[in-house]
Structure 1
Amino acid sequence: MTAMTILIIACAYLVGSVSSAIIVCRLFGKDDPRTQGSHNPGATNVLRIAGKLPAALVLVFDILKGTVSVWGAYFLGLNPIELGLVAVAVCLGHIFPVFFGFSGGKAVATAFGALLPIGLDLSLMLIVIWLIVLFCSGYSSLAAVITVSLAPFITWFVKAAYALPVAMLAVLIIVRHKDNLIRLVKGQEPKIRQKYS
């Protein structure tokens, strides 16, 4: 691994560390999302505590973090495995942001953004899967876990060279949703429109 690759990975982590949920909530005069609702600084929790516009802004920015990082690395000539490391790094930045006390979100939107450069066909299939699971279950976390679990297999048929990097990303997102999965099994996970008690 070259020095340039290491630098790009480090930069991706720093980009991921910019928490749009916290920044947007401050701009809209809302409390830190880490202290409200699910305590997760992500679009779903911002939707619950701040409304549709702030949540949409958070969603777009978090997706762009992943897309810009991976696309930039691609144009700089990194290979698929290195691109996978860039994707993991930007998501780790979102999960453990250096600028916000290493207390971040689940990185679902950022991971989706990191997958966008692979191709619109893959992205559209993942969006459809996510929407179907969300519509049928009402659980954002379940939709995220099922979608990322299927992502490596779909990638294998779309662009096989990127299946392993996508699998790396999927494992990270699934592990990050451990508490959500436990709550789902216990029947304690709130649906997307429900408030946390």
Structure 2
Amino acid sequence: MTGLTILIIACAYLLGSVSSAIIICHIFNAPDPRTQGSGNPGATNVLRVAGKIPAILVLVFDVLKGTVMVWGAYFINLAPVELGLVAIAVCLGHIFPLFFNFSGGKGVATAFGAFLPIGLDLSALLIIVWLSILFISGYSSLAAIVTVTLAPLLTWYIKAEYALPVAMLSLLILFKHRSNLIRLLKGQEPKIKERNL
């Protein structure tokens, strides 16, 4: 691994550490999402505590964090596994932000942004899977879990050389959702329509 690669990975973590949910809620004079709703500083909880516009802004920024770093790394010809490390670094920054006491979101939007440079066909399939599971089940967390589980298989079908880095990132997102999975198995996970959005 070259010094440039290490620098890019470090920059990815720092960019990931910029918590748009906390910043945007502050700008809109909304409650800190870490202390309200689910306590998760992500777009879904911002929708709950601050409304649609702040939530959309958070979603866009979080997706862009992943896209900008991975796309930039792709264009300087980093190897697929190194791209996976960049993607993991930006998601780790989002999940454990240096600038916000290491209390961050679950990384789904940022991971999706990291998947985008692989191709619009993969992105479209991931969106279809996520929306389908959400529509059928009503569980946002289940939609995320199923989508990231299928992501490596879909990537292998579309661009096999990126299946390993996608699998690396998917494992991180699944690990972050382990509490959601336990609640789902126990029947204790609330559905989107059951939450006060």
Same fold, TM-score > 0.5, yes or no: yes
Name the counterpart of 1:40.
40
Alignment of 1:1-197 (within 5 A): 1-195=1-195
Q: CA deviation at 1:76?
A: 1.4
Contact 1:16 1:97 in 2 (8 A): yes
- Percent sequence identity over aligned pairs: 74
1:139-171 deviation digits (Å, cap 9, x = unpaired): 111000000000000000100000000000000
Contact 1:13 1:90 in 2 (8 A): yes
Q: CA deviation at 1:19?
A: 0.3
Q: Distance in 2 between matches of 1:191 and 1:49?
A: 17
Q: Distance in 2 between matches of 1:154 and 1:67?
A: 18
SS in 1 for 2:26: helix
Q: Which amino acid aligns with 2:115?
A: L
Q: Distance in 1 between matches of 2:36 and 2:188?
A: 17
Q: Which amino acid aligns with 2:100?
A: F
Could you say if the C-alpha distance between residues 194 and 48 of structure 1 is closer, same or farther in structure 2, counting changes exceeding 3 Å? Answer: farther
Q: Distance in 1 between matches of 2:126 and 2:138?
A: 17
Q: Which amino acid aligns with 1:158?
A: I
Contact 1:37 1:195 in 2 (8 A): no
SS in 2 for 1:148: helix
Q: Which amino acid aligns with 1:129?
A: V
Number of residue equivalences: 196
> What TM-score does the superposition give when structure 1 sets the normalisation length?
0.98
Q: Distance in 1 between matches of 2:121 and 2:100?
A: 35
What is the CA RMSD across the aligned residues, in angstroms? 0.9
Q: CA deviation at 1:192?
A: 2.0
Q: CA deviation at 1:186?
A: 1.5
Q: Distance in 1 between matches of 2:75 and 2:130?
A: 29
Contact 1:62 1:109 in 2 (8 A): yes
> What TM-score does the superposition give when structure 2 sets the normalisation length?
0.98
Q: CA deviation at 1:77?
A: 1.5
